[in-house]
Every structure is written in C-alpha cells, then in structure tokens.
Amino acid sequence: MVDSAGILAQPFMQRALLGGLLTGGLGGLLGSFAVLRQLSFFSDALGHSALLGVSIGILLGINPTLVLIPFAVLFALLVNQLVERSKLPADALLNIVYSSSLAFAVVALSLVETYRGGIQQLLFGDILGIGWLDLGVIALLLLGAVLYLVLSMRAQVLLTLNSDFAGAFGVGANWHRIAFIVLLAVVVAVSIKAVGVLLISAFVVIPACAGRLLSRRFPIYVLSSALLGGGCALLGLFASGLTNLPSGPCVVIVQFSGFMLVLLFKAIF
Amino acid sequence: MDNSVLRVENLSVRRDGQLVVDGVNFELLSESDTALVGPNGAGKSSLVAALLGLLPRLTGEVFVMGHRLGPTGELPHGVRSQIAYLPQSFALRGRFPLSVAEFVAFGFDPPGPRLPWRNRSKRRKAVLVALARTGSSKLGAKLLSELSGGELKRVLLAFCVVRPRKLLLLDEAQAGLDATASEQFQELLLQLRRQEGWTVLQVSHDLEMVRRSCDQVLCLNRYLRCSGPPSHALNPQRLAELYGPNVVAYQHQHHG
C-alpha cells in the first residue's frame, strides 16, 4: 500500500487524476443525453468498433490514434444509417455490429506480432500513461461539448422527447441527431486510451443513470451526471493508486458503488 | 389571399413506399377551425406531417403564411415559431428528469441556438400563464413522465400557448381526454381563435365535436373526398362514402 501524499506527488498520477476528472465528466455529460435517447448500447458498439479502428491503423502502419477519431465518426454514421434504414430492432443490429467488429479487431491484432501484448491495454485502458497532449484534447472536447449542449439545450431536450414534435417546433432534428452521434463517437475515440474498449460504455451510462434517478430538473440532471462521472473517476483512480489495482476497473467499480448507493437512497426516501 | 394562413396545392405524400395522400388541395383562412376526418389509414397523420415538413412531399406545394415550405421543412424562423403542433402520441420511456414547468418553458423560446438563461423572468411569467390557461397550474413541479395521458395533453397544449402563434395543428389531440377536459380544450381553442387570431386544423374521429366546433371539414381517404361546412360535408351520404354505411346509421340514430 502506498501513502496518499506520495501518490499525489507523482506527475503521472496528477495527469491521470486530471484525465479521469475530464474524461469522467465528459462521459457523464454526453451520457445524460445518450441514456435518455436509448443510445447506451450505441456507445458500447462504438467502443468495440474503436478496437477495429486501432487494428486497421496498426495493420496499415499508421499511428492508431490518428486513425481512431475518423474511423469512429465514420463507423458511427454508418451504423446510424443502418439502424434507421433497417427494419430490424436497433439492439439486435448493434449486437451484430459490435461483436463482429470485436472479432475482426482481435484477429487483425493477433496477426501483428508486436501488438499482442497491447490488447490488454486497449481493452481496459491505461489512464496512467495519459500525456499533456491527451489532456489538452480532452479539455477542448469537453469545452466544445458544453458549448454545443448549452446553446442547443432546447433542441436537445425536444429531440430527446419526440423527434416529430421537435421538428414541428423548428428543431433541425436530423442535423442535431447526427451532430450528437459524431460528438459521442469523438468522445469515445478520445477516451479509449484512458478508459479502454470494454469499460467506455460504463463511463457514459452509469453516472447518467444515477443522475437520472436523483434529479427532478433537467439542468441538475445533466450537471449531476457530469459531476458523478468526474467524481467517481477521481475516487476510482485514487483507490487504484493506493491499492495498485488496475485503474479503469477501479473507476467502474466506484461508479457502480455510487449507482447502488443512489438506488438504495431512492428506495429508502 | 391576405388572410390565408395555410395553402396546400396538389399535395401527394408517400409513406413506406405507399401513396397515402394524393393530389390534395385546400386553404385555411385566418381564425378558422378546420377538422380533418377520415377512416383509419386514410392518410390524415401523414398529411399533417407533410404540412409540418416532417414527411417529404412527392408532389405539390405548401404555403404557410405566404411562405413556401421547403422540401425538407424549411421555413423562416419567424414563421416556424408561429406554428404549434400536438402529436397523436407522446410516449415517454421511463423516468424523464424534466419538470412540466421546464418543458413548457422550452415552448417559449423560438427555434435556433441561444443561452438558456436569456429572458428568464419573461419566460417564467409566460409559463405560469400558459399553465393556468390549460388548467395545469398544479402540475408545474411534476415530472413530465409522471403525468397521466390527459394531463400530458393539457401540458402539451400549454407548450403551444406559451407564446403567441398563428397556426395550431392537432393530431387527435383530444383522444384520451375525459368529457370535461375535452370541453375545456375546445373552449380554449375557441378563445385562442377569437381573441388571438389562431387558426386551427384538427384531425379528429369525434364527429359530434366536429359538428359543434368546426367551421370547415376536410374528408380525406387518400384524396380529398369532400370539404365544406360540417352540415354539408358530414351529411349521411358523404359519411357513407367516407366510412361505409354503418356510420350513417349511427349518425341517424344519434340525432333521432
């Protein structure tokens, strides 16, 4: 066991904590809308597809980080089209997409000798390896997401409630739906390094579900989801540093514990 | 024409590969209350969706307050903000953390990006008035997802009346309301027309209400079968053409 002051003094830990706060906040913020729009499974599929993006980058000899964002955006738009045009239920389609992309990605990565050891890192993330450039990108993304969601709050809420109703009252429903999906794809792609493919959907879904149970006003719901996301990430990383356990899973365990506490609180009061 | 609020010319609409509205023409004049009637699957909701720009038009033109509706529903913000719509269904899945007052407040803002805290006190006053007008004052603090079907209809109407508008499209908005709430609803529509100059187009299956309240009827069954004042459009012969002979018998019995 390491002492807490010692952990906080480490520069890599300081970056990790800041990264966790920003990534967790961003996940909670977008998650608050994604959960209401029933896009939880969509974010999971995006996370799994990111692994395919990484493997394509490696096979082509391009830096995977550069491939990841355009791949995730393209993938999200294609899947969105597939869900809208197909007569099949969205959850079944997303299941096909995410399990297939995971299978392709693992096969592709196993062909690259040097990358076999990196799969673990991709699956569960390596927030301790986060650099200042990554932090800058995440901070910019958070700022952009806050600006977009605040300025289009009316459109986002009406669209979440009923897209025809929103359209009738002047909301460019298609435009906002695509903009949100692209934003979600970029956030997932950027957060993969820190959070990992398997755990990214927890960052989007768990804080938002806890916030949804706690709030009776929409701004409070969005804010509480973002704060819970950031707060749980901080606490989880700190616990990971103290116990030397894997960081991503520690954060998700803290998020889950928080969610259970909220459930318990709602059951009592 | 100066007092034309909505003009529809040769409108055809296709939905899921089927022609559901075929060559429809009509015009709504200011302060009129028009009923759109017809059997299930006659294309009424599709027609309303096309008028709002929610469904693409196969042929024809729609003019709202003199402005041409674009192919994908484009209208100037100033015109769009004068249109209100009450959908047939408004299903909410699970707990939705949005209070009724917050929801109605979103109706106050015109389309386009803006800071949510702008015009806060004006918006709050308008919400209180809208809730009072629709008999929903006690619902302000409730969550939207906690409302009954009838309460939700009233709150949706509050969303529509929270700012001045010119055109209200109702798609079976009174279905699910009890008799008193339905009467109050019609009373409010009349008030909005007479005092504030609103024009109403309502899809309805309640032919008795249509006879009492509307001044024009459009009978639709893919194409416009008949139109005119209720006494003309809802006569037994025309109803038989539209719905089949059973409805005519029912109408005769009802009026003795």
In order, the DSSP letters of A63-78 are -HHHHHHHHHHHHHHH
Per-residue pLDDT, B143: 95
pLDDT tens, position by position, A57-71? 888 888 777 888 899
CA dihedral A22, A23, A24, A28 (to 10 degrees): 100
Q: Which strand ranges, in their side-by-side order, compose the sheet holding B83-86?
A: B83-86, B167-171, B199-203, B33-37, B216-221, B223-228
- Candidates A144, A141, A152, A157; CA nearest to A221 is A157
Q: Count of CB atoms within 10 A of residue A41's CB?
A: 18
Per-residue pLDDT, B250: 45
pLDDT tens, position by position, A161-183? 999 999 999 999 889 999 999 99
The residue segments making up the domain with residue A185 are 4-264
Phi then psi for residue A89, to 5 deg, are -65, 145
Per-residue pLDDT, B139: 96
- Provide ipTM, 2 decimals: 0.88
Bridge partners (DSSP) of residue B21 are: B13
Q: In Å, how far is B41's CA from the nearest CA of chain A?
A: 19
What residues of A are in the B interface, CB distance below 8 Å? 36, 38, 150-155, 157-158, 161-162, 164-165, 167-171, 211-213, 215-221
Answer yes or no: do B113 and A151 touch at CB < 8 A: yes
Q: Which of A1-10, A12-21, B117-126, B187-196 has the lowest mean pLDDT?
A: A1-10
Which tokens belong to A146?
């806050």
Nearest CA in chain B to A215: B97
Domains by residue range for chain B, with CATH: 1-82+165-244 (3.40.50.300), 90-163 (no CATH)
Answer yes or no: do A171 and B111 touch at CB < 8 A: yes
Per-residue pLDDT, A118: 64
Per-residue pLDDT, A52: 87
Per-residue pLDDT, A2: 62
**Statement: residue A72 has pLDDT above 80:** yes
Per-residue pLDDT, A91: 84
Ranges in chain B, pLDDT < 70: 1-2, 245-256
Contacts of B109 in chain A (CB under 8 A): 154
Contacts of B52 in chain A (CB under 8 A): 164, 167-168
Nearest CA in chain A to B52: A168
Which residue did the predictor score with more confidence, A53 or A257?
A: A257
Number of folded domains that form chain A: 1
Per-residue pLDDT, B4: 93
**Statement: residue A203 has pLDDT above 60:** yes
Range among A26-30, A75-79, B148-152 with highest mean pLDDT value: A26-30
Does residue A269 lie in a domain region?
A: no
Per-residue pLDDT, B118: 85
pLDDT band at A114 (very low <50, low <70, confident <90, very high): low
Per-residue pLDDT, A1: 56
Q: A137, B75 in Cβ contact below 8 A?
A: no
Q: Count of CB atoms within 10 A of residue A250's CB?
A: 22
Answer yes or no: do B97 and A212 touch at CB < 8 A: yes
Return all residues near A210 (Cβ < 8 A) that are at least 6 apart. Answer: A224, A225, A228, A255, A258, A259, A262
Amino acid at A171: V
Per-residue pLDDT, B255: 40
Q: What is the DSSP string of A112-167?
A: SGGGGGGHHHHHH--GGG--HHHHHHHHHHHHHHHHHHHHTHHHHHHHHH-HHHHH
Q: What is the DSSP string of A224-260?
A: HHHHHHHHHHHHHHHHHHHHT--HHHHHHHHHHHHHH
Mean pLDDT value across residues A219-237: 95
**Statement: residue A45 has pLDDT above 70:** yes
Q: B162, B130 in Cβ contact below 8 A?
A: yes
CA distance A125 to A20: 11
Q: Count of CB atoms within 10 A of residue B27's CB?
A: 17
Q: Which strand ranges, in their side-by-side order, compose the sheet holding B59-64?
A: B18-29, B4-15, B59-64, B67-68
Contacts of B77 in chain A (CB under 8 A): 170
Per-residue pLDDT, A15: 92
Per-residue pLDDT, B251: 47
CA distance A138 to A133: 9
* Four-residue CA torsion sign, B233, B239, B243, B249: positive
Chain pair A-B, CB pairs under 8 angstroms: 82
Does residue A105 lie in a domain region?
A: yes
* Four-residue CA torsion sign, B189, B194, B200, B205: positive
Which residue did the predictor score with more confidence, A93 or B48?
A: B48
CATH of the domain at A61: 1.10.3470.10
∠ Cα A156 A18 A251 (to 5°): 80
Per-residue pLDDT, B249: 41
Does residue A98 lie in a domain region?
A: yes
DSSP letter at B112 equals: S
